[in-house]
Amino acid sequence: MSLPTAETLRDRARAALQAVGATVELGAPGESGLPASTPVTGDVLCTVPETTPDAADAAIAAAAGAFAQWRITPAPVRGALVARLGELLVEHQADLGTLVTIEAGKITSEARGEVQEMIDVCQFAVGLSRQLYGRTIASERPGHRLMETWHPLGAVGVITAFNFPVAVWAWNTAIALVCGDTVVWKPSELTPLTAIACQALIERAAADVGAPADVSRIILGNRDIGEQLVDDPRVALVSATGSVRMGREVGPRVAQRFGRSLLELGGNNAAIVAPSADLDLAVRGIVFSAAGTAGQRCTTLRRVIAHHSIVDTLVERITAAYRSLPIGDPAADGTLVGPLIHERSYRDMVGALEKARADGGEVVGGARRDLGEGSFYVEPAVVRMPAQTAVVHEETFAPILYVLTYDALDEAIALNNAVPQGLSSAIFTTDVREAETFMAADGSDCGIANVNIGTSGAEIGGAFGGEKQTGGGRESGSDAWKAYMRRATNTVNYSSKLPLAQGVHFG
């Protein structure tokens, strides 16, 4: 399979940016600014203006300033902005999808699916704008009313990873905006063009509905500009998505200034395959979760824990499916596996496979497909491991699927829980006792525990996130909105007496 040229990709990116109304000045490769590259060919396509520390400071000041007006705008009116953003996303789904494919290397269907996730969360947030409910609580004192009210928090700093260059911004921004917060976004330095396109759309949406222009701002650059966001006391909440390494740095720094953080970090997700599993279903779920997005999702399936009675058949079927996966240009019809993001990812994959071999692992696949010098396309690998060794405990952001075996379900659950990360997990079984045990308090310790589907591809309606080194944050649906608001407890005395709580008498 041949790849498009850098010129073709540059033209496609330019056309998509133009279509969404982005007016950014793109520099030629090598000119000053932040390089915008593509994993499809490995080329730098252009440069974009990098945000200076002073400009980042001004962006934070602008968002913090806009908060004064935005927080008193009625929530359903705030919802109108998000509704308009959702409409623009529908209109420009293909344009944004093109940019995601160019910058993150996702196949077209997954890139458009990511934009669909943005549309879905906008719709969810619009409904939420009329449902920011507080509780009333029975007061122990006569003539008193006890209740909770929820209020906007302030400017929210959003830091995102390369592999979900648009959806994670939307999860945060759609919810933050209806909650009455304003946003400053630091996208991955690897995906600045998609971020510029999103910013153009939110600016258009704000202009269309008469919302303050500064409700959502963007700052472009490397981690140092992200650190500025992390350390700034005007940023009430830092919602950071990325590696455990990043979270380890960001969490304590935000805590140091008593800011709030919401961390969405790495995963090391497993699927248990029980003897009763529907293997057709399991193989499809496993292959999508493990090889999809070339193994570069936080929810990518990295470990299969298979019952010894079915492991041989299962591995045979997975490796057969892997052999038929079309690998190559992510924009081409039929491709299912696109490129790794950069050479470092490829080196990490090679290093992990070497370690696995040294630990007695039997590796099938994992070879590089030479489609061009600067790009890194790989065959997804399946590795049968004699034990869950140190390398299996690490998240290698590439398509490596380790296979482990078990005899009894509690052993399988213990293996599932034995890694430091706690994002997603699954069990394939037709035995209701096993399914319920897996989801019970002493079952999977992950934020996501699925039955008879893979570990990736969550819907926006549920709260998304994970435990342990995954950071504990929850984003997107359910009541994840509460992280973006502050809660006040109000006690109202409508009597003419002043009884004290707990029956205390004073004077």
* Torsion, Cα of 450, 455, 460, 465 (10° steps): 90
Closest CA to 111 of 121, 124, 96: 96
Q: Residue 152 and residue 419: Cα distance in Å, rounded?
A: 36
Contact between 478 and ligand NAD (CB under 6 A)? no
Site string for ligand NAD, 261-280 (x = CB under 6 A): ---xxxx-------------
Q: Residue 453 and residue 437: Cα distance in Å, rounded?
A: 16
> Least distance (Å) from ligand NAD to the CB of residue 255?
14
> Least distance (Å) from ligand NAD to the CB of residue 74?
31
> Least distance (Å) from ligand NAD to the CB of residue 326?
24
Choosing from 189, 203, 264, 475, the catalytic residue is 264
Which residue lies nearer to ligand NAD by CB, 56 or 81? 56
Which residue lies nearer to ligand NAD by CB, 156 or 298? 298
Contact between 86 and ligand NAD (CB under 6 A)? no
CB atoms within 10 A of CB 439: 14
> Least distance (Å) from ligand NAD to the CB of residue 406?
25
Contact between 161 and ligand NAD (CB under 6 A)? yes
The residue behind tokens 């213990």 is 414
C-alpha dist (Å) from residue 208 to 18, 83, 203, 467: 18, 11, 9, 40
To the query of whether residue 264 is one of the catalytic residues in this protein, the response is yes
> Least distance (Å) from ligand NAD to the CB of residue 124?
17
Closest CA to 284 of 257, 322, 310, 250: 322
Beta strand segments in 110-153, E:
136-137, 144-152
- Exposed, middle or buried: residue 171 (CB in 10 Å: 0-12, 13-18, 19+)? buried
Contact between 159 and ligand NAD (CB under 6 A)? yes
Which residue lies nearer to ligand NAD by CB, 79 or 226? 226
Which residue lies nearer to ligand NAD by CB, 212 or 247? 247
Q: Residue 195 and residue 51: Cα distance in Å, rounded?
A: 13
Which residue lies nearer to ligand NAD by CB, 161 or 272? 161
Q: How far is CA 286 from the centre of its chain?
A: 20
Q: How many residues bind ligand NAD (CB under 6 A)?
A: 29
List the Cα angle 174/186/172 in 5-degree steps.
20
Q: Residue 140 and residue 227: Cα distance in Å, rounded?
A: 47
Contact between 97 and ligand NAD (CB under 6 A)? no
Site string for ligand NAD, 423-442 (x = CB under 6 A): x-------------------
- By CB under 6 A, the residues from 369 to 398 that bind ligand NAD are 395, 397
CB atoms within 10 A of CB 361: 24
- By CB under 6 A, the residues from 277 to 306 that bind ligand NAD are 298
Amino acid at residue number 296? Q
Contact between 460 and ligand NAD (CB under 6 A)? no
Contact between 254 and ligand NAD (CB under 6 A)? no
Site string for ligand NAD, 177-216 (x = CB under 6 A): ---------x-xx---------------------------
Q: How far is CA 83 from the centre of its chain?
A: 22
- Rounded to 5 degrees, φ, ψ at 110 are -70, -35
Which residue lies nearer to ligand NAD by CB, 40 or 298? 298
Among 9, 64, 246, 458, binds ligand NAD (CB under 6 A): 246
Contact between 447 and ligand NAD (CB under 6 A)? no
What is the sign of the dihedral through the CA atoms of 251, 422, 475 and 220? positive
Bridge-based pairing of strands 424-428 and 421-422 is unpaired
Contact between 114 and ligand NAD (CB under 6 A)? no
Q: Residue 368 and residue 100: Cα distance in Å, rounded?
A: 23
- Exposed, middle or buried: residue 89 (CB in 10 Å: 0-12, 13-18, 19+)? buried
Contact between 176 and ligand NAD (CB under 6 A)? no
Closest CA to 179 of 191, 171, 168: 171
> Least distance (Å) from ligand NAD to the CB of residue 223?
4
Q: Residue 225 and residue 140: Cα distance in Å, rounded?
A: 50
CB atoms within 10 A of CB 106: 28
> Least distance (Å) from ligand NAD to the CB of residue 264?
3
Which residue lies nearer to ligand NAD by CB, 251 or 285? 251
Contact between 248 and ligand NAD (CB under 6 A)? no
Q: Which stretch binds ligand NAD (CB under 6 A): 211-219, 239-247, 324-332, 449-457?
A: 239-247
Q: Which stretch binds ligand NAD (CB under 6 A): 199-207, 219-227, 315-323, 497-505?
A: 219-227
Among 139, 243, 417, 437, binds ligand NAD (CB under 6 A): 243
CB atoms within 10 A of CB 406: 20
Which residue lies nearer to ligand NAD by CB, 160 or 450? 160
Helix (H) or strand (E) holding 66: helix 53-70
Among 37, 108, 163, 182, binds ligand NAD (CB under 6 A): 163
Beta strand segments in 85-167, E:
136-137, 144-152, 155-159
Among 227, 278, 359, 431, binds ligand NAD (CB under 6 A): 227
Active site (catalytic) residues: 264
Under the rule (CB under 6 A), what is the footprint of ligand NAD?
159-164, 186, 188-189, 222-223, 226-227, 230, 241-243, 246, 249-250, 264-267, 298, 395, 397, 423, 470
